[in-house]
Amino acid sequence: AQKVTQAQTEISVVEKEDVTLDCVYETRDTTYYLFWYKQPPSGELVFLIRRNSFDEQNEISGRYSWNFQKSTSSFNFTITASQVVDSAVYFCALSEAGGGYQKVTFGTGTKLQVIP
Amino acid sequence: EAQVTQNPRYLITVTGKKLTVTCSQNMNHEYMSWYRQDPGLGLRQIYYSMNVEVTDKGDVPEGYKVSRKEKRNFPLILESPSPNQTSLYFCASSLQGAYGYTFGSGTRLTVV
């Protein structure tokens, strides 16, 4: 069974600090996708990134970067020079090829508060 | 504008009174799904559908029904709502499951 663990329930940082959100997953499938979503205080869910299990290249998008390590089953998300607008709940998610990628398991989320 | 539209945004109802939350997408997506979000539990998948007339149970399907008669619509039906179904519900759609989902704005349901 697939499982996603986000052990950090809440994190507070001061603006301009870097912060890393952890995501650890479990799956028996060798082919799967990992995702990060952002839920700002307004409540909508915004897709940030997806990564397939065969692509371990790290990705950078502006102040955001993602570190995928199959050896430790982790897909961590780093925000560099955090800003108040980064305050949100961030969810990591997993879907397996075995389920046609339809069955998606989310972590419990990490609430990030960026203090001005 | 490409979007997933859910209605209503807020709903307060009484135990046992059947209700339907509508979901419609205008992106011609094959995949649609319903989630509920509860504090400390994250998002949990209720039902999903990969095409018209094809639906399957997610992790928490008890007490819910869905139908997919048209590609664009995927309503969530609560035949006899109970207080433990008080939650924030999200509908989502995707071209393919591996692409990531576009979510609706959410429906906050309170069952008293």
CB contact under 8 A, B44 and A101: no
Share of chain A above pLDDT 70, in %: 100
CA A32 to chain centre: 15
pLDDT bin (cut points 50, 70, 90) of residue B98 is confident
CA A58 to chain centre: 13
pLDDT bin (cut points 50, 70, 90) of residue A86 is very high
CA B32 to chain centre: 8
Q: What is the pLDDT of residues B7-48, one digit of tens each?
A: 999 999 999 999 999 999 999 999 999 999 999 999 999 999
Q: What is the pLDDT of residue A55?
A: 87
CB contact under 8 A, A104 and B50: no
Please check whether residue B61 touches A, CB under 8 A.
no
Mean pLDDT, range A91-116, rounded to an integer: 91
CB contact under 8 A, A95 and B105: no
**Residue A37 pLDDT > 90:** yes
CB contact under 8 A, A45 and B90: yes
B31, B18 contact by CB (below 8 A): no
Q: What residues pair up with B7 in beta bridges, in sequence order?
A: B22
Q: What is the pLDDT of residue B57?
A: 94
Q: Which residues of A touch B60 (CB under 8 A)?
A: none
State how far residue B18 is from chain A, nearest Cα, in angstroms.
26
Share of chain B above pLDDT 70, in %: 100
Angle at the Cα of B11 (from B36 to B86), degrees rounded to 5? 40
Please check whether residue B58 touches A, CB under 8 A.
yes
